[in-house]
Structure 1
Amino acid sequence: MTKATAPNSAETAKAAAKAPATATRQNSPHVLIVEDDTSTRLLLESLIRRLWNDSRIESFGEVQSALDAWRLHGADLALVDIDLPGVGGLALLEQIAREPSRATTSVIISHHKDRAIVLQAMKYRARDYIVKPFTARDLMQRLSDLMQFAPSKQLAAAGGEQHRREALERLLRDAIGFRRLSLPIDPELVEKMEAWHLQGELDKARILEHWVLEPALVARLLGAANSGPYNTSGQAVSHFAQALDQLDPGTICNLAIALALQPGSTLAAPELRDLAEDIRARQRGIYRQVVALGASVRTELALYATACALHRIGVLAVLQLIQAWMEQGGQLSAEELTELVKRYGPEADDAIKTLWLIPQQLRDLSRAPDEKPRGAPSQPLMLMRIAGLRFSDEPTGEHSEELRRLCERAGLPPPRVA
């Protein structure tokens, strides 16, 4: 319902003192909308009800009334405009961020594209930044994705061991099945990119020098460059350097910031961070082997570098989902983590590469280090498989024989196994 007047502040403060520390998450969320434009506010209410028909909605046109209601009732999701009367929307985000135990997912909706505001919103734990004018489909998809990954702390920990595990597996299955996936990204990378862009120093050469093997950035920019708004020729963008040619620095920077706003985007849990670094080390190691094998033609090397950056990104997507879960109070044993990564990593790999429009050639090349080639494989596929075997921790026995045969077929001398 839309609130025409603010509740009595004294009564609200008194009730807030008795309110529980967290809002209980139901099947559909409790949503707080803070937007001073009446038509936009009504549109947001309509879209929320289309997403979750039994959701509870509270709508306000200014900050103080919204803050009073949030302190009284909490909220699962807060949609906040920046340009609000009085103190403005960032002030409300700051207050919400001061009480993380309430588990409110905050989203900025604004016509501003100022990255300084985006960074300030990130500081206050905003999970997304939706620019007006938005399309109904895009907004609904993004909100659905966010709330899929934002269970309350009570939900994450409640119901005993079996219930906790089932809830996490349901989250993983739904995220993969509905293509609600992203990749973790280093926040320092995003800060550096933002600084360079503001200084007018963010160019293709600099990005290639620093981040040609950065999985999240490579995959996301490829996806954008292959999408309709940026790919007017209809030709597939097949490697990272081509993607950079398609996109302007502002778009590149905004896409990186959007990655950093996703739940679980920073792998804070040491066990998740270690697994991610193992994958990154493998990507870099396979690329070094490709270079050592003599793949020095410029266009081919760019293709191989991109394939290496996309290697096992499904595991990284699963780690991000688990990180988001752990941020809401979930816990996993080392054995459970290993099992979940092994079970869902390959599915997530296919799903995120489909979601981000990765060309089939790159999908095949990125999987080649882990798969025996079938039939009459192309030279690039054999080269990637050889590089993967050379980097393998198990270079003896069957792997050693396969390596010898592949080198012979590829016209390469039998390489010394690293």
Structure 2
Amino acid sequence: MTAVDLPAVPCVLIAEADPWSRDLLKQVLLNVRCDARLDLCADGQQAALMLSEKTYDLIIADWELPGVDGLSLLRSVRQQRRSPALPFILISTRNDSTSVREALPLAPTAYLTKPLNMEGLTQRLQDLLLNEGETVYCDVPALAPGMTLPVFLERRRETSDGAPLRVDVKAAVQHSLEPQGLDLRHLEEQVRVDPQITAVLIAAANSAGHHGTPVHTLSMALHKLAAGQSMNLILGLALKHNVILSDPGLMDYAERHWQLSQRTAEYARSLARMLDLDHERCYSAGILHRLGDLALLRCLQEWRQGGGELDDELIGESLFTFGASYGSALRTRWRLPLELRQLIAAVYSLEGGVYSREALVMNMAAQLARLTEHEGVEELARSKTARLLKVGLPELTRMRLTRR
């Protein structure tokens, strides 16, 4: 089937069990056809039901779907003997010759193995969904009549895509490519200051497609996902709508939150190392603790692009009212590990009467990070947190001087 056979707006079904792989497929497809109507599902039975109720122009399915697998879906589609044949891209972790021979008689439009070759997938989709030389542009939707900023932000809280990117992901991946492949250690150094990349990779490494010990750090996530999937997820972030802030005013706010996150993370890592605690997990909590505020800034850019008014006062009020709840919603929806979420919460306050030493570290690191250039650490050295950690004025002074 060629692009000329497609309707003006193609309807596509994506069936993939892993939520982050499913989202990646969605972003790659929308980057080719931003106007496409998409249906997403996580298991083969749901996909089969949707296929029985609706006509699609393209199907992308993973072989390893729970319930009805992707190969069975392909077999069912081919038994309908539609002419021309319905385009069907089959994705699988299986790259052995036996599996390929099993799939080929069913004539998949493409058989792609994981980790996906993003350029190859993009080219396949362009061939299927666009005429030669064609490009589809989509306007930013205008705000609904009468929409107010608080209502808009309340609605977007549960569907926010997260924070804007701080790091140029394409450059980061390019700088980390070695002749033998992607250098994960170098990639970690390139992206570890970015809250969005850190959160997404940790969430993906803890998703349904990856079992075992919970992942709390960027390093653990990179190694669990391996080079190919890590690279795809990072590059996929650049495809998302509004992931780069273009508004100068919002960019100023974002820079302040990025700087505060980084200072908190670095203080937390130094304190944890000094006390022989998990310094990488403490660093992760510090980098992630402003994720909600940053996600809110990204939504404020959507508001402005849709025609809404925005000034410093509204930005400040929105951050005060919604920043914390945006962060909580994201951490819950992305299923970040409970221990990591507890450390992030400790940045803001210590609740209850018993605290882990790592929680105390996070609280102290946040207080250090918020000090202005002219403030000293004497008051912090007398605080309850310092006493519980058994950290005194000499240690805090040395740490402050090291950071300057």
> How does the TM-score come out when normalised to structure 2?
0.62
CA contact (8 A) 2:218 2:284 kept: yes
Deviation, 1:408, is 1.1
**Counterpart in 1 of 2:157?**
176
1:172 aligned partner, one-letter code: L
In structure 1, distance between residues paired with 2:200 and 2:388? 35
* Distance verdict in 2 for CA 1:299–1:220, change over 3 Å: farther
Once residues 185 and 350 of structure 1 are traced to their aligned partners in structure 2, the CA distance between those partners, rounded to angstroms, is: 19
Report how far residue 267 of structure 1 moved.
Answer: 0.9
Tell me the residue number matched to 2:202. Answer: 222
Which of 232, 235, 242 is the matching residue for 1:254?
A: 232
Structure 2 contact 203–334 (Cα < 8 Å) conserved: yes
Instruction: Say which is worse superposed, 256-265 or 322-331, in terms of deviation.
Output: 322-331
Report what 1:84 is aligned to: 128
Contact 1:197–1:253, Cα closer than 8 Å, also in 2: no
Shift in Å, 1:331 = 2.9
The one-letter code matched in structure 2 to 1:169 is P
Taking the aligned partners of 2:6 and 2:191, their CA distance within structure 1 comes to 51
The residue correspondences of 1:106-255 to structure 2 (distance < 5 A) are 151-152=141-142, 155=143, 159=145, 163-164=146-147, 166=148, 168-177=149-158, 179-186=159-166, 188-194=168-174, 196-197=176-177, 200-229=180-209, 231-233=210-212, 235-255=213-233
Q: CA deviation at 1:297?
A: 7.3
Amino acid aligned to 1:205: R
| Native 8 Å contact 2:288 2:344 kept in 1 | yes
Q: Could you tell me how far 1:222 is from its partner in structure 2?
A: 0.4
1:297-316 alignment runs, 5 A limit: 300-316=278-294
Aligned residue in 1 for 2:305: 327
Aligned twin of 2:357? 379
Measured at CA, do residues 374 and 295 of structure 1 come closer, stay the same or move farther in structure 2, by a change above 3 Å?
farther
Deviation at 1:191, TM superposition (A): 3.6
| Counterpart-to-counterpart distance in 1, 2:306 and 2:214 | 39
- How far is the alpha carbon of 1:248 from its aligned partner? 1.9
User: Following TM superposition, by how much is the alpha carbon of 1:42 offset from its aligned partner in structure 2, in angstroms?
Assistant: 2.1
Q: Could you say if the C-alpha distance between residues 33 and 239 of structure 1 is closer, same or farther in structure 2, counting changes exceeding 3 Å?
A: closer
Shift in Å at residue 298 of structure 1?
7.8
Aligned Cα root-mean-square deviation (Å): 3.7
Report how many residues are paired: 292
Against the structure 1 CA distance between its residues 85 and 286, is the aligned structure 2 distance closer, same or farther, given a 3 Å change threshold?
closer
Separation in structure 2 between the aligned mates of residue 263 and residue 86 of structure 1, nearest angstrom? 20
Change (3 A) 1:317 1:403: farther
Identity over aligned residues, as a percent?
22
Whole-angstrom CA distance in 2 between matches of 1:209 and 1:408: 34
Amino acid at match of 2:56: L
Taking structure 1 as reference, are residues 410 and 45 closer, same or farther at Cα in structure 2, changes over 3 Å only? same
Alpha-carbon distance in structure 2 between the residues aligned to 1:202 and 1:298: 31
Q: Distance in 2 between matches of 1:217 and 1:377?
A: 29
Q: Which runs of 5 or more residues in structure 1 are unaligned?
A: 8-29, 47-60, 62-79, 104-149
Tell me the distance in 2 between the aligned counterparts of 1:186 and 1:248: 22
After TM superposition, give the deviation of residue 357 of structure 1 in Å.
Answer: 1.6
Q: Deviations over 1:2-28 (max 9, x none)?
A: x98999xxxxxxxxxxxxxxxxxxxxx
What do the CA deviations read for 1:200-235 (whole angstroms, capped 9, x no partner)?
552221122222232011100000000011x222x3
Q: Which amino acid aligns with 1:271?
A: G
Structure 1 residues 370 and 403 mapped into 2: Cα distance closer, same or farther (>3 Å)?
A: farther
Distance in 2 separating the partners of 1:266 and 1:372: 34
Correspondence for 2:388:
409
Q: In structure 2, how many angstroms separate the alpha carbons of the residues matched to 1:86 and 1:287?
A: 45
Structure 2 unmatched ranges of 5 or more: 9-33, 39-50, 60-83, 85-123
Task: Tell me, in whole angstroms, the C-alpha distance in 2 between the residues paired with 1:357 and 1:6.
Answer: 38
Distance 2:227 2:199 in 1: 16
2: CA distance between counterparts of 1:241 and 1:370? 25
Which SS does the other structure have where 1:377 is aligned? coil
Instruction: State TM-score, norm by structure 1.
Output: 0.60
Contact 1:283 1:311 in 2 (8 A): yes
Distance 1:331 1:261, change over 3 A: farther
**Aligned mates of 1:86, 1:251 — CA distance in 2:** 27
State the Cα deviation string for residues 41-76 of structure 1 (Å, max 9, x = none).
Answer: 922699xxxxxxxxxxxxxx9xxxxxxxxxxxxxxx
Indicate conservation of the 8 Å contact 1:314/1:346, yes or no: yes
What letter is aligned with 1:224? A
Within the candidate set 294, 319, 322, 1:344 is matched to 322
